[in-house]
Each structure stands twice: as structure tokens, then as C-alpha cells.
Amino acid sequence: MRVLVTGGAGYIGSHVCKALAAAGMEPVTLDNLSQGTAKAVKWGRLIEGDVADTDLVAESLRQSEAEAVMHFASSASVAESVQDPAAYYRNNVSGTLSLLDAMRRTGVRRIVFSSTSAIYGETRHLPIPEEAPAAPLSPYARSKLMVEAILADEAAAHGLTYLALRYFNAAGADPEGETGDQRRTATHLIPMAFKALSGKPNVLRSSAMTTPPPMAPASATMSMSATSPRAISWPSTI
């Protein structure tokens, strides 16, 4: 199966491309390299461009003969989203609408969407059950929840088949060292925690410092990589 991976030059997307290739699938990355790097695109080719460019995405889907999309391209900093919400709604919500237009135009009907556990906000129930009510606290999290709603509506209207992965702070890197977290700006909890531990001052100011997270994040990364290729080959479950 050929899969268009948006954001495939980024941290999670590049691991997923590797997992897809290992599962015998053919990933093609579409990435504007705003955060990711071309060096991380080692499994399948790179189309440099923006998900908001509907014509380019449609042409990429046609040329690559993709049967499914895995959508990791987004802006992903909670703090930045509070400072510039419009940029987040534009890239994450409007960008996804353009991608969905291109998919409809080319008859590609399957999509795995990289959502986030941040849609749950602060919940007292740990581990968080999937059906816990959504209470997003930032424009970033709200943009992801909006996309989930759009996907549900598109599924009802046009028979789109979708899966939304709501995972936590991803951690770790490819055990073979072929890819890793190479973002231009590190804003996620775990890289910041390591920076703080290495003595850099004022890199982490959060109640998370006094409330260690449960062990779920690391295993969530592993299971995300392991299950994503299978998720797109099980249309009846998504």
C-alpha cells in the first residue's frame, strides 16, 4: 500500500515512515520543512510543499498513487499557540481542510490523523479513558479537536474512513539511530526535562516538575509506531 505521510520529515512522521517501509508499505512524505529536515526522509521520497496547497497535494496523491494519508503535519507548541492562535487554526485546521479537499478530488478515502491527548485538558482520571470528556485548554488542543469534528462530519457526508490518535508526549528515538527528534525548536516536555537535567537554567517551568508523569508516554510512542501501519490496513476498524 502507498501512503502519503504529511509531516514525514518530522519526529513522529519519520518514525512512522520507517515503520511503514518495514511493514512492506510505500511511504511518500509531504513536508514544508518548517520544523522537520530532509535528512529524516529516508524511507520513500520527499515532496517539499505545504498541506494548504490543495493542487500540490492532489498532484502528490495522484503521482504517488496513494491509497491512504497519514497526517502529522501541524504546528505543535502549546505555548506558541497561546501567543498566536490564528496561526495555529490556519495551519492545523485550515491546512487539514485543504488536505481533505485534495483527498476528495483524488478519491483517497482513508486518513490517520495525529491528534493529541491535550484535547482532554486537565483530568483527574488516570489513565485517561478514551471516552473522557474533551476539555482542551489551548488553541493547539482546540485546533486538534476541531479537526476531529471535521473528520467525523466528512465521514458522515462523504464516507471518509478515519482514525484519530490521541497520544501523549512522545519520547525516545529509533533504536537503530536512523531518525530522532530533530525539531528546530524543542518545546515538548521530555526534551525540555532532559535540558533541565543537564543544567540549562529556566528551560522548564511547570507543575509537571513536581508531578512526574506515569510511564505511559514512552510506551505510547512505541505502540503508535507499531500500530499505525496496521491501522490503515484495517478499514473496518477505523
- Three cell numbers at 140? 493547539
Nearer to ligand NAD among residue 35 and residue 138 (C-beta): 35
Task: State whether residue 95 is helix, strand or coil.
Answer: helix
Contact between 138 and ligand NAD per CB under 6 A: no
CA 139 – CA 9 distance, rounded (Å): 24
Q: Which C-beta is closer to ligand NAD: that of 24 or that of 221?
A: 221
> Under the criterion CB under 6 A, does residue 74 sit at the interface with ligand NAD?
yes
Torsion-angle region of residue 179: left (phi > 0), alpha (psi -120 to 50) or beta? Answer: beta
Q: Does residue 229 belong to the site contacting ligand NAD (CB under 6 A)?
A: no
Determine whether 140 is an active site residue: yes
Residues near 64 by Cβ (< 8 Å), separated by ≥ 6?
2, 4, 26, 28
Q: Which stretch binds ligand NAD (CB under 6 A): 9-17, 19-27, 102-110, 197-205?
A: 9-17
d(CA 87, CA 14): 24
How many of the other CB atoms lie within 10 Å of CB of 231?
A: 17
Among the options 88, 89, 140, 162, which is catalytic?
Answer: 140
Contact map string, positions 182 to 201, toward ligand NAD, x by CB under 6 A: -x----x-------------
76 in contact with ligand NAD (CB under 6 A): yes
Supply 58's cell numbers.
492532489
Q: What backbone phi and psi angles, to 5 degrees, belong to 48?
A: -85, 115
| Pairwise CA distance, residues 184 & 50, whole Å | 17
Site for ligand NAD in 18-37 (CB under 6 A): 31-36
Between 104 and 183, name the residue whose CB sits nearer to ligand NAD.
183
Answer yes or no whether residue 169 interacts with ligand NAD by CB under 6 A.
Answer: yes
Instruction: Give catalytic residue positions.
Output: 140
What residues make contact with ligand NAD under the rule CB under 6 A? 6-7, 9-13, 31-36, 50-52, 72-74, 76, 91, 95, 114, 116, 167, 169-170, 183, 188
